[in-house]
Amino acid sequence: MSGTNWGRWGDADERGTLNLVTPEAVLAATQVCRTGKVYSLALPIQREGVPIFDYRGAPQRLSLTSNTDNDRYEPFGAPEGLGSNEDVLVLASHSITHMDALSHVFAEGKMYNDFGAEEYTTAKGAQHLDVAQTASFAGRGVLLDLPRHQGVDWLEPGQVIDRAQLEACRDAQGVELRSGDILLVRTGWLDFFATGDSGYPQPGLGKDAVSFVDDHDVAVVGADNAAIECIPFDDNEFLGVHIELLVKRGVTLLEHLFLSELAADGCHEFLLAVGGLKVTGAAGSPINPIAIG
């Protein structure tokens, strides 16, 4: 494929643009904090009130042990009223706020860095590029708050975000982007979703926006919508922006991020730490990114 990062960090690379986040970049990122306020960029994981695709199933929390299980604790000498609560979770790797592993999308039968699509098997999942490779990172996060810049509550459903819009927002905010940064794009879609009136179309990045990512050597892209890119897809190309960013460039993607609190505080620059579940073989993970303002 053309215009790619395949081979850029060697034939065995499974981290993609996370390679751009050097220790020096991380150390520099720790210096951008101004308030010490901690932001959680995850929506709650629950069955209602959050965006869920039917085919993924609504997440389930089921009770495993509780205060009804005295007979479990008694053999340990526990008096009545003493015990522990535990749960079992059943949830899609890509449910609600989540990260895409580099094995998430394949095109022309290939995943990032020329790994074959057949390397994701039923029993083992991704034998290369699984989420364990990219689940753990930190760096400088930059929020581009498009609705605020454009003077709207949220971008229109289906609105295609192009390079010019990103540049204008960046300039208006007076924030610069550096190599290895984590770019978070607020479309306002989650606020629209919260009204209960949203449907299938969503605003998001178009293919033209990819060059913005290239120009700044961005390591990670996140957004508050379902798929980073606009839906319906730009030019009706199925997963077109995923192909450009994830498959060709190895850019880790973060979706359904809760960005409203950062936006409300006007916090556009922050340290961001992401610790996804290191599930061997998985093509993604629910996440709770932590930003420090």
Sole binder of its own copies in the list 7, 89, 114, 164 (CB under 8 A): 89
> Cα dist. 32→108, 141, 222, 259, 270 in Å?
41, 9, 19, 18, 6
Does 104 engage in binding with its own copies (CB under 8 A)? Answer: yes
Does 158 engage in binding with its own copies (CB under 8 A)? Answer: no
Q: What residues between 108 and 147 interact with its own copies by CB under 8 A?
A: 108-110, 117-118, 120-126, 132, 135-138
- Min CB(190)–its own copies separation in Å: 15
Does 282 engage in binding with its own copies (CB under 8 A)? Answer: yes
- Min CB(44)–its own copies separation in Å: 5
- Min CB(22)–its own copies separation in Å: 7
> Cα dist. 22→18, 136, 176, 276 in Å?
8, 13, 18, 19
Distance CA 204, CA 72 (A): 51
Q: Which stretch binds its own copies (CB under 8 A): 24-32, 159-167, 181-189, 209-217?
A: 24-32
Q: What residues between 179 and 198 interact with its own copies by CB under 8 A?
A: none
With beta carbons less than 8 A apart as the criterion, state whether 246 and 104 touch: yes
Sole binder of its own copies in the list 11, 12, 27, 199 (CB under 8 A): 27
Sign of CA dihedral 123, 126, 127, 132: negative
Sole binder of its own copies in the list 10, 76, 199, 200 (CB under 8 A): 76
Q: Which stretch binds its own copies (CB under 8 A): 4-12, 107-115, 154-162, 199-207?
A: 107-115
Q: What residues between 254 and 273 interact with its own copies by CB under 8 A?
A: 271, 273
- The structure tokens listed for 192 are 């629209």
- Min CB(218)–its own copies separation in Å: 17
Query: By CB under 8 A, how many residues form the interface with its own copies?
Result: 111
Count other Cβ atoms within 10 Å, centred on residue 189: 26
Q: Which stretch binds its own copies (CB under 8 A): 150-158, 193-201, 215-223, 276-284?
A: 276-284
Amino acid at site 165: Q
Residue 209 burial by CB count (10 A; 0-12/13-18/19+): exposed, middle or buried?
A: buried
- The structure tokens listed for 100 are 């895409």
Residue 277 DSSP symbol: -
Q: Of the two residues 151 and 200, which places its CB atom closer to its own copies in the complex?
A: 200
Count other Cβ atoms within 10 Å, centred on residue 283: 21
Q: What residues between 32 and 71 interact with its own copies by CB under 8 A?
A: 33-40, 42-47, 54-69, 71
Q: Of the two residues 29 and 209, which places its CB atom closer to its own copies in the complex?
A: 29
Q: Of the two residues 125 and 206, which places its CB atom closer to its own copies in the complex?
A: 125
In DSSP notation, 207-247 reads: GGGHHHHHHHT-SEEEESSSSSB-BSPGGG-TTHHHIIIII
Distance CA 228, CA 202 (A): 9
Does 73 engage in binding with its own copies (CB under 8 A)? Answer: yes
Does 199 engage in binding with its own copies (CB under 8 A)? Answer: no
Q: What residues between 218 and 247 interact with its own copies by CB under 8 A?
A: 233, 236-239, 242-243
